């Protein structure tokens, strides 16, 4: 099996960070789209709780259940042979270390996930440690955390002032020290994402966080221009000018690999 065909691991993503090779990530929610992403060369496929909005039609991700995530992760796992497979822990399924471990174990055992993602701050550091100690790979999601949309008062850019930026840098460092293997930063200023990236030794994946991250992720439906309510300002449809969904996903992969997406400020 050659390098392109081999299943990606965390070691591969860490090597890509060290070598300055952009990590390409996308969401998927079923086997057919997962297969398209895999063929296109996506490095990490995320079964996001964004399915609550783009698949189930909810206004937020809050209604998504653990059973929904297990079902969709199991579907995606059948279409992926190369990319690392990560799945979200949905709202209110990781309030304590033991609850988080049980939820993560189900996503891995029943869904086939290789990593779980949780929306995190300093308050979740001990949960991250507990998962890591039990052998669960963890991606910690900082910045705009959609499960907290009602607490935040909407989908707003985070870390724009000096105090909140400093807190996020501290949170990122603590989460990594407690065992986070990957960080995802959403809707933060590019300079803040770049500083977080420079201060941790794990890959930092951005969404709406500028070009200076170790990798990029978007919701697949945004890449295809079919998201209800229109594209978020940081996203782009790659379908125009291509002949197929496969070509559109491949165009996204190449744009990230070549540093053309997201564009420089």
The two tokens of residue 218 are 């978007």
3 catalytic, yes or no? Answer: no
Q: Could you tell me if 151 and 123 are in contact, meaning their C-beta atoms sit under 8 angstroms apart?
A: no
Q: Which residue in the block uniquely carries the two structure tokens 């990560």?
A: 86
Q: Where are the beta strands (DSSP E) in 120-261?
A: 138-143, 182-186, 204-207, 215-218
Residue of 186, 195, 243, 247 marked catalytic: 186
CA distance 205 to 48: 14
Distance CA(191)–CA(187), nearest Å, equals: 12
Determine contact, residues 66/93, Cβ cutoff 8 Å: yes
From 33, 230, 60, select the one nearest 155 (Cα to Cα): 60
Please list the active-site residues.
186
């Amino acid at each position: 099996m050659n390098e392109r065909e081999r299943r990606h691991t965390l070691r591969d993503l860490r090597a890509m960070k060290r070598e300055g090779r952009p990590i390409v990530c996308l969401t998927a929610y079923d086997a057919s789209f997962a297969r398209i992403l895999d063929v296109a060369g996506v490095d990490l496929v995320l079964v996001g709780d964004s399915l609550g909005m783009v698949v189930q039609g909810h206004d937020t991700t809050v209604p998504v259940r653990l059973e929904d995530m297990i079902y969709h992760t199991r579907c995606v796992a059948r279409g992926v042979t190369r990319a690392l497979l990560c799945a979200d822990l949905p709202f209110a399924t990781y309030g304590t270390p033991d609850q988080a471990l049980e939820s993560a174990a189900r996503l891995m055992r029943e869904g086939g996930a290789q990593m779980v993602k949780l929306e995190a701050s300093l308050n979740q550091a001990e949960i991250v440690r507990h998962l890591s100690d039990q052998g669960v790979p963890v991606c910690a999601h900082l910045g705009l955390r959609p499960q907290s949309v009602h607490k935040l008062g909407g989908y707003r850019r985070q870390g724009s002032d000096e105090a909140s930026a400093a807190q996020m840098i501290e949170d990122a460092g603590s989460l990594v020290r407690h065992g986070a293997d990957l960080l995802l930063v959403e809707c933060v200023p590019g300079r803040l994402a770049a500083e977080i990236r420079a201060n941790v030794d794990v890959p930092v994946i951005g969404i709406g966080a500028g070009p200076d991250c170790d990798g990029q992720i978007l919701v697949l439906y945004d890449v295809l221009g079919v998201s209800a309510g229109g594209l978020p300002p940081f996203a782009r449809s790659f379908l125009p000018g291509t002949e197929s969904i496969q070509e559109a996903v491949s165009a996204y992969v190449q744009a990230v690999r070549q540093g053309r997406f997201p564009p420089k400020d």
